[in-house]
Amino acid sequence: MKVFATYNIKGGVGKTSTAVNLAYLAAREGRRTLLWDLDPQAAATYLFRVRPRVRGGGHALVTRRRPIEAALKATDFENLDLLPADFSYRNMDLELDDTKKRTRRLGQLLDGVADDYDVVFLDCPPSISLVSENVLHASDTLLVPLIPATLSLRTLDQLVRFVADSKGSRPEVVAFFSMADRRKRLHRDVIDAISRDGTRVADTVIPALSIIEQMVERRAPVPAFAPTSRAAQCYEQLWAEVRPR
């Protein structure tokens, strides 16, 4: 089982769009895929038309009072399941803090479904917290969407240091530009200037396109409702760069 997490300290950078579209593409290839919407805002859950409710809330999951399998929901797409968000996830830091091995609990929970899935996506809330530490330990690849702006690069540096400072196994960090507008000189400059020496930066750039915003209206991944669109092609390219061989 390969675990990807879409993560950034900043919000509104395209984490959910990336998680939803790449999870859909993984499932379309025949990989048994799970998307765990860890963000209490429940955007991914909304996109899949699933109700943002987990019986017993985050507390029941984290304390294992309810098995993770009981909370899983099939999406409308073959091979793709969702572990929905719940508003109680806003307290997940507190719940995790009360457990043994508090930085590894999410990984332990995922181990319970390792036989059922080939690929897992974690759609993370924007923060640096105990949840984030859990995500680092649970994931193999951290996908970091970046809006092409100077502050974004600074955020990436912070995030890379955060990963480097974490104990135990560390995920590979793969950054990529998201919501890029080639008409803006600043965006072009930042994309061209980013150093590819240290952190892996994907070649694919996800442009700012209105069709990606339409996901909320259509409540579906872009490649499902606009399979030949440029946005769908970009996500396919990104998936081709990062998917397990």
Partner 1 sequence: MISATRALQRADGGEFDLTAIVGALSARFAVVTGSMQLVRRKRLDTFDRRLHAAGFTLEHQIVEPGERLVLGRLDGSSTVAVPVKGLRWPATADVLPLGPVREAIAPVTGVRALMVALDEQRRMRRLELCNEDGKTVARVELDEPASPAAEPAQLMVRRLRGYDEQARRADRLLLGLGLRAVENGADRRPSSAPKTSSVDRAVPARVLLTTALSDFLVTMRENLPGLLDDVDTEFLHDFRVAVRRTRTTLKLGRPALPEVMRSRWEPAFKRLGDLTTPLRDLDVYELDLPTMATWLVTADPADLEPLATHLRSRRTAARHALVRFLRSARFRRLVTEWDLELAGLVDSPEGADRERLSAGQLADRSVSRAYRRVARGGFVIRADSPAQDLHELRKRCKELRYALEVFAPVLAKGPRGRAVADLKDLQDVLGRFQDCEVQRRAMRGFAEEMMTEGTKAGAVLAMGELIGHLDAEQDHARRQFDSAFARFARPSSLRLMHRLGGRR
Nearer to partner 1, 82 or 142 (CB): 82
Q: Which of residues 125-184 bind partner 1 (CB under 8 A)?
A: none
Nearer to partner 1, 198 or 244 (CB): 244
Say whether residue 223 binds partner 1 (CB under 8 A): no
CB of 28 to partner 1, least distance (A): 7
* Range in contact with partner 1 (rule: CB under 8 A) among 75-83, 130-138, 156-164, 204-212: 75-83
- Residue 204: CB atoms within 10 A of its CB come to 18
3-state secondary structure of 162: helix
CB of 147 to partner 1, least distance (A): 31
CA atoms within 13 A on the CB side of 6: 29
Say whether residue 216 binds partner 1 (CB under 8 A): no
CB of 162 to partner 1, least distance (A): 33
Torsional class of 128: left (φ above 0), alpha (ψ -120 to 50), beta (otherwise)? beta
d(Cα 201, Cα 243) in Å, to the nearest integer?
14
Residue of 211, 238, 237 whose CA lies nearest to 225: 211
* Residue carrying the six token digits 């990963």: 163
Helix spans in the chain (H): 15-28, 43-47, 57-62, 68-71, 92-97, 105-111, 130-138, 150-165, 185-193, 210-213, 215-218, 222-225, 230-242
Nearer to partner 1, 219 or 230 (CB): 219
CB of 245 to partner 1, least distance (A): 8
Residues 2, 53, 73, 188: which binds partner 1 (CB under 8 A)? Answer: 73
Q: Which of residues 50-69 bind partner 1 (CB under 8 A)?
A: 50-51
Residues 31, 59, 104, 105: which binds partner 1 (CB under 8 A)? Answer: 31
